[in-house]
């Protein structure tokens, strides 16, 4: 989670919403890391999770990340949760819960849907306070 938090802080310094993600291989080594790049890339889908998942797949030379874990500072939205399922992520670990935009424990609850083809293990609330504080401080500074 520390590496994901570092990516979130870097995203905030770039003026992006501070969300960071890493993909770990089955041995726990970091395959890819990313922070949000929505503003920089002019791409509404350039969420940290999407960028890290794609980079990890390129690094392994495969479209499936079987046995790999996604660690992210904020509960993934429905798009990112669905992508993690398509990549066949073993476990999704996230920091802050997102009652408004989350797609795992809130909102769409992607993995609970009857049509979900893959249901990774989910661990929420890891370093939740630190992850939430990054977001709160970022948005407070904008007001």
Active-site residues, by number, are: 49
**76 with 92: CB under 8 angstroms?**
yes
Which contacts of 9-17 are long-range, i.e. CB under 8 A and separated by 24 or more positions?
9/134, 10/35, 11/35, 11/36, 11/37, 11/48, 12/134, 12/138, 14/39, 14/40, 15/39, 16/40, 17/135, 17/138
**12 with 138: CB under 8 angstroms?**
yes
Positive/negative CA dihedral, 137, 134, 59, 117: negative
């Amino acid at each position: 989670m520390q590496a994901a938090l570092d990516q979130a802080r870097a995203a905030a310094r770039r003026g992006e919403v501070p969300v960071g993600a890493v993909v770990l291989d089955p041995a726990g080594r970091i395959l890819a890391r990313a922070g949000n790049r929505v503003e920089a890339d002019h791409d509404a889908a350039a969420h940290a999770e999407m960028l890290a998942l794609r980079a990890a797949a390129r690094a392994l030379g495969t479209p499936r990340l079987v046995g790999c874990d996604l660690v992210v500072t904020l509960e993934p939205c429905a798009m990112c949760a669905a992508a993690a399922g398509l990549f066949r992520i073993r476990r999704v670990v996230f920091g802050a819960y997102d009652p408004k935009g989350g797609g795992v424990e809130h909102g769409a609850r992607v993995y609970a849907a009857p049509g979900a083809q893959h249901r990774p293990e989910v661990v929420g609330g890891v370093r939740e306070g630190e992850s939430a504080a990054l977001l709160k401080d970022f948005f407070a500074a904008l007001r």
